[in-house]
Amino acid sequence: MDLILTGRAITGKEAFDIGLSNRITSCGTSLGKAMQLATCLTKYPQDCMNRDRMSAYNAVYNAHSFDAAVSFEMQKGIDVLQSVSE
């Protein structure tokens, strides 16, 4: 909350430590690391990744309970799973 209210600048390590970022890179390597991550992500089916993103947004903004979030994910993901097994 203090970051929102104060606008205080933080280091990469602090951002990582509090969960604001999930990776730290050496100076000058961030573009290469981002490209590696992007290349890795392209190996996954887009429909599956899009449904995962939709479920994450739903869980944060719409779901009123854990059970509602899981139910939404199952409803939106089952057709992707069925299309892969066909």
Q: Is 11 left (phi over 0), alpha (psi -120 to 50) or beta?
A: beta
pLDDT tens for the chain, residues 1 to 86: 888 899 999 999 999 999 999 999 999 999 999 999 999 999 988 888 999 999 999 999 999 999 999 999 999 888 888 887 66
- The model carries a pTM of 0.63
Token pair 């392209």 is found at 42
Domain range list for the chain: 2-41, 46-85
Can you give the pLDDT at residue 85? Answer: 66
- Two tokens, residue 18: 């509090």
- Two tokens, residue 78: 């089952």
